Chains A and B, each alone.
Chain A
Amino acid sequence: MKKLLAGAAIALAAVTGTAQADGHANYPERPVMLMVSYGAGGATDFQARIVTMTAGNEDALGMPIAIINKPGAGGRVGWNWFAGQADADGYTMGAYNVPHFIAQSIEGGVSYSTDSFEPIANWGADPAVFVVAADSAFNSMSDVVGYAKENPGKLTFSGAGLFVGHHIAALQLEKAAGVKLAYIPNNKGGAGAMKAVIAGEVLGGVNNLSDAFRAREAGNVKILGVFDLERNDFLPDVPTLKEQGYDIDNASVNFRGVMVPKGTPQGVIDKLAATVPAMFENSRVASRMKAGGSPMHIMTRDEVLEMWAAREETLKELLAGL
């Protein structure tokens, strides 16, 4: 019996030994968890479920990815948990939303920053757009800015909250156009902000391109401008803010992607960084995302690292005045 136990112990040591030696070649050996810091049914959750649905395929991870929702406080609850309590073993991944988590870390009161996480890959980019009700008198951004110049501080427009992409876009517009606006954050997120525009509670609003596209299809809103560097495939007829003469870049674009906690073994990070972007490129994923009106934008780990750094710099500058 003793011999048997000793043999088993040696065998076990050998197994763990090889696992460490070969740099996690067998990873992943069990299903992987993806933490989404927004509720089930929200845009981030919805897209995360689509882009990870092929994870179990042999050419992807070979193991399914399970979504775990940890919503609350505009994502802060989930990201706090992810930075502080998630196991850094590669079996716990998280979904990030930029600029949200970076802006929140600059604002303070949370226990994470860009240094707490290691990006793996980016799957989507949902630019902010400026919407007005279908019966509004405004037909271009210059109409909107003109009104704001005549009535300083009286142009009410809605967005999903403070320190999210919509708020960043609002700040950029104020700065670029040199006007004072009345940004009204909504407690029900993008959907609530959109309702405020359609119901005429506010004169306009910043909202997600995907939601605004749907609202325009339903005949409820006009879209006056895109807060991005280029026009979007979903809205080829809507000019960017830059085209309309306002110096606004893509700092407010809502980038969504996958990350792991700091301290995850480099071998695991490398393996994920190599396979995950390819997984996002699956044609089934692309067709589902397109059907749902969600713009895709796949970026590799290196590109995301660069994007995070650039975003942090812009946001620090923009939010310094608050």
Chain B
Amino acid sequence: MEFIQYFGDVFVPFNFMLLMLGTVGGLILGATPGLSPTMAVALLIPFTFRLEPAQGLILLGAAYTSTVAGGAVSAILLKIPGAPANIATTLDGHTMAKKGQGARALQLSFLASAVGGIFGVFLLIFLTPVLAQWALAFGPSHLFWLAILGVTVIGSLDGGSVVKGLLAGCIGLWLSTIGFDDIMGAQRFIFHDSLAGGINVIPALIGLFAIPQVITMFAKGRSRLDAEVLEVERHPIGDAIREVFGRMRALSIGTITGSIIGLIPGVGGQIAGLVAYDQAKKTSPERDKFGTGHPEGVIAAESANNAMVGPSLVPLLTLSIPGSPTAAVLLGGLLIHGIFPGSDLFDNHPQVAWTFINSMLIGQVLMCIFGLYVAGLAARVAQVPNEVMAAVVLALAVFGSYSVQTSMGDVYVMAALGTGMYFLERFGFSAAPLVLGLILGPIAEANFIQGSMIANATSSVSQYFFTGALNLTLIAIVVLSVGYSVLMELRARRVVTTKDEAVAKEEALS
């Protein structure tokens, strides 16, 4: 309960102003495609040089919280996820926006984010010592199985065909092997200097999602100038609040999955949203509606990606090990003030530690309030004419890809992948499984290699990967997940192959 006594520090006028600044700035940065939470926090570090440690961390914590949620805005309105964490949000969020429910989708996403986020921070406050042990329990073999679990999700991710989902996933897995390999330094598929560092997830994400949208907009804009200007119906906030809490299953699955996955170092929030989305879909009696603009899809994905924020800081704050890229940047922000995370932080600088954590708690609430306000403005964004929107999105895509590593090569990668994806989409493939493959490939590969190196030195590979309670539990979940997908496939005999057909089917259902 120590945290309560430091609540006052958050509400000191200057600190509170920083908190507001971080939250609003974070929402804007998060909504910009290409500016991931890691980038946003890194950009803010120099500003903290002149601030007190606690004040600097308030700014960083607020920005981290709200960039994750802000990514939902572009995911829903433009179908461009602001960061990998928001990929799952596009699946139902953008379809809702297409049906004129953009405001509703945004309200649900911010409310779900706040619920998930607050739960995650409470976990950080009350269970940190226990969670730290949990975070350490995941070694190479467990991370490998976790990545495989992610791969099993690929096929069932997007409404259309399982085979096409898996094919897209395989393309993603292959793309992830390009570049110098992480462990041995071997060169693979590098035909151009731009690819030497491998394909960075952020430019790939922007290309795969944004460019097909842009091409479509330009293509339609010529023939029908009024085409696809999104209508946005007003949606009362009260209804949204009732709806979020009315869909308890999606909310709790999202929150719990996000918290658990966020905790594991090295996996981070990138896949939390997708795994939660998949779980929510599989356990829902209305699973057919997922992918066709079902509110539960948005709620599960967004509650998960914000729930991961708190637990993702556990390894950093207790063990001084940054578990995610964003945590590594925050570590820099702490070190610059001479504060070492770990027992030093909580014993000698409790004011800094607890003010930081409290500011994330208050930050979630502020983020939700500002987010709901933004949702009201969504109508205006959506009424921008197609050709203007396409130009703006294209500019943001180029800017976002370049800024990740200040590299023109990333812009080429973005453009090439995007153009390829436009044609793949014509054949009913979708971007989400492809990106998931790109994210999971290195996790699975690197952990398998490390695991087998350790195994070869100590015991045997089969013993290392197939024994132990955690390994067996994960394998069991993988088998269940695969089995369930096969069963559903056989039972449903889905004939839907493209997203347009899926939408048509949904309209027939309702």
Contacts and interface: CB of A to CB of B under 8 A. Distances in A.
Contacts of A301: none
B405 interface: yes
Contacts of A290: 338
B331 A41 contact: yes
Interface string B177-205: 00110111101000001001110100000
A81 B197 CA distance: 11
A107 interface: yes
Given A41-B42, A161-B183, A217 B342 contact: yes
Contact size range, B: 35 or more
A76 B180 contact: yes
A39 B406 contact: no
A80 to B, nearest CB: 6
Contacts of B139: 196, 199, 201
Contacts of A305: none
Interface string A185-215: 1111001101110111110000000000011
Interface in B392-450: 405-407, 442, 446, 450
Interface in B316-354: 318-322, 325, 328-332, 335-338, 340-344
B412 to A, nearest CB: 14
A153 B184 CA distance: 19
A17 interface: no
A293 to B, nearest CB: 7
Contact of A156 (B38, B405, B458): B458
Contacts of A49: 45-46
B265 interface: yes
A162 interface: yes
Given A80-B196, A187-B183, A291 B338 contact: yes
A37 to B, nearest CB: 10
A217 B325 contact: no
A71 B197 contact: yes
Contacts of B49: 53
B329 to A, nearest CB: 4
Contacts of B342: 214-215, 217-220
B495 interface: no
Interface string A58-101: 00000000001111111011001100100000000000000000
B12 interface: no
Interface residues of A, number: 58
Given A42-B328, A49-B46, A220-B342, A291 B337 contact: yes
A49 B335 CA distance: 12
A77 B197 contact: yes
A163 B185 contact: yes
Interface string B288-331: 00000000000000000000000000010011111001001111
B136 A41 contact: no
Nearest to B316: A191
B183 A40 contact: no
A101 to B, nearest CB: 13
A274 B342 CA distance: 40
A68 B320 CA distance: 26
A45 B45 CA distance: 12
Interface in B11-42: 38-39, 42
Contact of A73 (B38, B46, B197, B340): B197
B404 to A, nearest CB: 9
A28 interface: no
Contacts of B183: 161-162, 185-187
Given A40-B329, A199-B139, A217-B342, A50 B336 contact: yes
B266 A182 contact: no
B209 to A, nearest CB: 22
B459 to A, nearest CB: 10
Contacts of B406: 68-70
Nearest to B180: A73
Nearest to B333: A41
B46 A191 contact: no
Contacts of A71: 197, 405
B472 interface: no
A290 B458 CA distance: 39
A198 B335 contact: no
Contacts of B318: 218
23 contacts: A40-B38, A41-B332, A45-B332, A49-B45, A71-B405, A73-B180, A73-B198, A77-B407, A80-B196, A153-B457, A184-B453, A186-B183, A187-B442, A191-B322, A192-B266, A195-B136, A195-B315, A196-B139, A198-B321, A215-B320, A217-B343, A218-B319, A220-B320
Interface of A: 39-42, 45-46, 49-50, 53, 68-74, 76-77, 80-81, 84, 104, 107, 109, 153-156, 161-163, 182, 184-188, 191-192, 194-196, 198-202, 214-215, 217-220, 288, 290-293
Given A217-B340, A218-B341, 14 more contacts: A41-B331, A46-B332, A72-B180, A72-B200, A76-B196, A156-B457, A182-B457, A184-B453, A187-B442, A215-B320, A217-B343, A218-B340, A288-B336, A292-B336
